[in-house]
Structure 1
Amino acid sequence: MTDDKKHGSALLAGLALLTSQLSINVGAAVAKHLFPLIGVEGVTAYRVGISAVLMMLVFRPWRTPLTWKQGCNVAIYGSVIGLMNLLIYRSFSLIPLGIAVAIEVAGPLTVAVLSSRRPRDFAAVCLAVVGLYFLLPIHGEVGQLDPVGVMYAAGAAVCWALYIVFGKRVSAMHGGQSVAWGMLAASMFIVPIGAWYAGATLLTPTYLLIGLVIAVMSSALPYTLEMVSMRTLSSRTFSMFSSGAPALSALAGMVVLGEHLTLTQWLAISSIVLASALTSLR
């Protein structure tokens, strides 16, 4: 492949990842409106379950049988997706979107540290860590944050790191097929949990329609785009590029939900975004 083609592929992968982040954060803001109606577990069941059905119908992954090794990786990948969705939604129900995602982004930052080979990347990670530090509930301006919400976000961070690692392993398969299998695996335990908590309310037509929108914007579209990106970008580049997610989440929370952050919180998020830009420069 020529340098121009490589550059073009990397650019398209970056644009796909940016589109994924925009879609997933607007979808999260919409999802938060449903939390009081069907609970966090019910909304997560919509997101994962409907996405699984859509992606199975579109990509028909059963046409390419999985090997034993691929099946194990897909099972872990899907389980991580399901748990990550549940934990971050629980966090969203307790703390603002931008702060929750800023804490969650510690996952990809950790992957970036472990796979880094350049001093610039370590400097970028340090800058991002400074931003995360000022978002934790240990300062006067953010002391009102619910510590349980922070813990849920931290759990989602661990899942995000595992998502990148196992997502990279299954990305060698056809992107859409691997995500479809992964979403099916996630739905196997998330949907029963949602049904247990929300019951027959999940079948309300209006809620189902909103759930369809959430599923497309928050899972089906972004996970497919991310799988395309993973096939071109390294785990380190993917991880650090994802660090811009807190800014998009904060903007989505402010526009859709009216979640206004303090100046310190905005500066902290800007620090994380700057770290992402620094490591992306070539």
Structure 2
Amino acid sequence: MPASGQTAERNSHLKAVGFLIGGISSFQIGATVAKGLFPLFGPTGMVGLRVGLAALILLAIWRPTRSGITVQSLKLLLPYGASMAVMNFCFYVALTRLPLGIVVALEFTGPLTLALAGSRRWLDLCWALFVVLGLYLLLRPETMAAGTMHSFDLFGVAAALLSGCGWIVYILTGTRIGRMFDAGHATTLGMTTAGVLLLPWLIPVIPTAIMHPWQGGMAISVAVLSSAVPYILDMLAMRRLSPRDLGILLSMEPMLGAISGLILLHEALSVARWIGVLCIVIASAGNVLTRQKAIAH
């Protein structure tokens, strides 16, 4: 390949990496903004606003029609949209009880478990052990300065793990929905379905958003930062990056979540819990790297 072609390819790759990291960072920033709005809207009201507004934004951009929607696609669309609703709902509920970095790490064990499930390679056992070690370090009780033991809220842990289960359903149904519709229309239909399912939590907070226009505007920014922008940037990245590169970069999400929580929300983690987050990252990145190497051979 000519040098100019190699330079163009390298620049395109670097742009794609920037797009993906930007998308992940945008989501984390949106989560920190959303957490600041919890006192007014509550976590359930905030998730209703975020998903509902994101659905309206995507509908305005993609404008899907009824053409191409079949009975078969509807059977997938409901669990696909429901998984998006569960992911967002449980994620925000967990944020009220746990630091952002811990919530992201616990949620990330969902797709990571899916990636490791059914494998017979001994290396995958190694990555599974990293996941177990990471969970142990994240969830174990710790001694505070006064000598008392402190452990995480079990309800928050359950909510974060349930969000991870929703992520599994999202992956399984989303890959099939993606074969029936283009990415934009599939996401719009899924987000709209999630928005309809979350209407019972959206409708009660609409008057509050109207009476507090500044906070209502911030809720719109959450919808943009946590849904519209990450989706667009992810699409730009996926056109240029290989599955291997995507997997490695997405593996950094728990660490970026912990860093975002530290910088933006002042949520400090102990050394042990930082190591726990790192174990989840290592397990995910190691799984991607060794799996791709096995496929290549």
TM-score (norm 2): 0.81
Farther-moved stretch of structure 1 (238-247 vs 94-103): 238-247
Name which of 156, 165, 173 aligns with 1:166: 173
Give distance in 2, aligned partners of 1:228 and 1:279: 24
Name which of 163, 178, 188 aligns with 1:156: 163
Q: Which of structures 1 and 2 has the bigger CA Rg?
A: 2
Check conservation: 1:243, 1:273, Cα contact below 8 A: yes
Aligned to 1:71: 74
3-state SS, counterpart of residue 72 of structure 1 = helix
* Alignment of 1:185 onto 2:193: yes
Aligned to 2:44: 41
Aligned to 1:145: 152
Give distance in 1, aligned partners of 2:189 and 2:13: 26
Q: Which amino acid aligns with 1:155?
A: L
What CA deviation, in whole Å up to 9, does each residue of 1:225-254 have, x standing for no partner?
5567789876x9977764432211111111
- Displacement after TM superposition at 1:154 (Å): 1.4
Farther-moved stretch of structure 1 (70-79 vs 121-130): 121-130
* Closer/same/farther in 2, CA of residues 117 and 240 from structure 1, 3 Å limit: farther
- Displacement after TM superposition at 1:31 (Å): 0.6
- Displacement after TM superposition at 1:124 (Å): 2.5
Give distance in 2, aligned partners of 1:60 and 1:226: 20
- Displacement after TM superposition at 1:17 (Å): 4.4
What CA deviation, in whole Å up to 9, does each residue of 1:203-262 have, x standing for no partner?
23112211111001112232455567789876x997776443221111111111110110
- Displacement after TM superposition at 1:75 (Å): 1.8
Name which of 219, 224, 236 aligns with 1:216: 224
- Displacement after TM superposition at 1:168 (Å): 1.2
State the Cα RMSD in Å: 3.1
Give distance in 1, aligned partners of 2:132 and 2:216: 39
* Alignment of 1:273 onto 2:253: no
* Alignment of 1:57 onto 2:57: no
What CA deviation, in whole Å up to 9, does each residue of 1:132-177 have, x standing for no partner?
2211144547833211111111111111111111111112221111
Check conservation: 2:141, 2:151, Cα contact below 8 A: no
In structure 2, list runs of 5 or more residues that go unmatched. 1-5
Give distance in 1, aligned partners of 2:232 and 2:67: 17
* Alignment of 1:113 onto 2:116: yes
Farther-moved stretch of structure 1 (60-69 vs 75-84): 60-69
Q: Which amino acid aligns with 2:128?
A: V
Give distance in 2, aligned partners of 1:43 and 1:87: 12
Alignment of 1:241-280 (within 5 A): 242-280=250-288
* Closer/same/farther in 2, CA of residues 111 and 242 from structure 1, 3 Å limit: farther
- Displacement after TM superposition at 1:272 (Å): 1.5
Give distance in 2, aligned partners of 1:222 and 1:97: 18
Q: Which amino acid aligns with 1:221?
A: V
Check conservation: 1:23, 1:217, Cα contact below 8 A: yes
In structure 1, list runs of 5 or more residues that go unmatched. none
* Closer/same/farther in 2, CA of residues 16 and 162 from structure 1, 3 Å limit: farther
Percentage of matched positions with identical amino acids:
34
* Closer/same/farther in 2, CA of residues 70 and 41 from structure 1, 3 Å limit: same
* Closer/same/farther in 2, CA of residues 158 and 14 from structure 1, 3 Å limit: farther
Aligned to 1:90: 93
Give distance in 2, aligned partners of 1:136 and 1:242: 23
Name which of 190, 195, 205 aligns with 2:203: 195
Check conservation: 1:171, 1:230, Cα contact below 8 A: no
3-state SS, counterpart of residue 134 of structure 1 = helix
3-state SS, counterpart of residue 152 of structure 2 = coil
